């Protein structure tokens, strides 16, 4: 299929399998999951707190690894002080291809971001809203802020409440300043993830196992297969 793409747009996106279950993670040891996904995201906030990174990494699949310690206000499963989240991210850095840090934490975490960049680790600056779709101007401001703090990829997750909210995400593809990942959550999550993938989102998140990491995710196998049968579209 012809790839009609603009700068910073790619097709197909990398399919990211979010893992929020220690039980599922333990089944992945050394597995090659390439026919299902391109990256695995380990949600460290979802793991039992007593586990050390070396223990966890014993089960690591043979895939690029995104490490996330999500803050509670943006969907994290454990409440912890920011310093603890940063030190966990730091402890997992030797294993990471990429790390995710909330845009609102990037100023405080700027040293961490620099450290990641020095190690050649990609930085995803992210923002999540589980209730609404913020306005496009606000989301663009967030992108600007994330880029100023050196995010390589800016990720927007929000909840479309009416069909028109999907258009807010579409607008983000107008001249982004670098790669973006855009996804809806909730009942319009699945359809939005397909559309934004076709518009050039560089990542699309889904789940492995039997538990969604966010409302509106697809199972990674299903989205990978579906995207194989589709192609890029113009905004
Ligand atoms: O931030 C994201 C995206 C996500 O919230 C989603 O909507 O698929 C799932 C999370 O695991 C991940 O950290």
For 50-107, the pLDDT digits (tens) are 999 999 999 999 999 999 999 999 999 999 999 999 999 999 999 999 999 999 999 9
Could you tell me the two tokens for 180?
């973006």
Report the run of H or E that residue 199 belongs to, with start and end.
helix 189-199
- For each of the domains in the chain, give its residue range(s) and CATH number, in order of start: 14-228 (3.20.20.70)
Q: Mutate which of 20, 41, 89 to test ligand 1's pocket (most atoms within 8 Å of Cβ)?
A: 41
| ipTM score | 0.97
CA distances from 98 to 29, 173, 229, 235 (A): 19, 22, 28, 28
Q: How far is CA 66 from the centre of its chain?
A: 8
Residues in the chain: 235
Give the pLDDT mean for 180-189.
98
Kindly report the protein residue whose alpha carbon is nearest to atom 4 of ligand 1.
214
Neighbours of 144 (CB within 10 A): 13
Distance 212 CA to ligand 1 centre (A): 9
Give yes or no for residue 188 having a pLDDT over 80. Answer: yes
In this predicted structure, the answer to whether residue 110 has a pLDDT above a threshold of 90 is yes
The overall average pLDDT reported for the chain is 95
Q: What is the pLDDT of residue 234?
A: 86
Residue 10 has pLDDT above 90, yes or no: no
pLDDT higher than 90, residue 9: no
Quote the pTM value: 0.96
Nearest CA to ligand 1 atom 5: 214
Is the pLDDT score of 6 beyond 80? Answer: no
Residues in a beta bridge with 18: 41, 207
Q: Which of 76, 100, 108, 85 is nearest to 154 (CA)?
A: 100
- Joined tokens for residue 24: 């599922």
**pLDDT for res 3:** 47
Indicate if the pLDDT at residue 191 is higher than 80.
yes
């Amino acid at each position: 299929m012809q790839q009609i793409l603009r700068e910073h747009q790619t097709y197909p996106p990398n399919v990211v399998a979010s893992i929020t279950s220690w039980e599922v993670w333990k089944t992945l040891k050394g597995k090659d999951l390439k026919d299902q996904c391109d990256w695995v995201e380990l949600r460290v906030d979802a793991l039992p707190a007593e586990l050390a990174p070396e223990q966890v990494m014993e089960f690591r699949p043979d895939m690029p690894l995104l490490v996330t310690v999500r803050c509670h206000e943006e969907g994290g499963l454990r409440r912890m002080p920011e310093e603890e989240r940063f030190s966990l991210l730091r402890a997992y850095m030797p294993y990471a291809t990429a790390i995710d840090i909330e845009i609102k934490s990037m100023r405080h975490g700027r040293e961490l971001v620099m450290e990641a960049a020095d190690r050649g680790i990609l930085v995803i600056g992210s923002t999540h809203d589980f209730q609404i779709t913020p306005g496009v101007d606000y989301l663009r401001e967030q992108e600007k802020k994330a880029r100023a703090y050196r995010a390589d990829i800016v990720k927007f997750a929000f909840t479309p409440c009416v069909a028109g909210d999907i258009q807010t995400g579409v607008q983000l593809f107008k001249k982004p300043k670098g790669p973006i990942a855009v996804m809806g959550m909730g009942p319009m999550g699945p359809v939005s993830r397909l559309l934004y993938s076709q518009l050039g989102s560089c990542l699309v998140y889904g789940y492995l196992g039997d538990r969604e990491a966010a409302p509106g995710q697809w199972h990674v196998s299903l989205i990978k297969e579906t995207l194989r049968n589709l192609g890029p579209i113009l905004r």
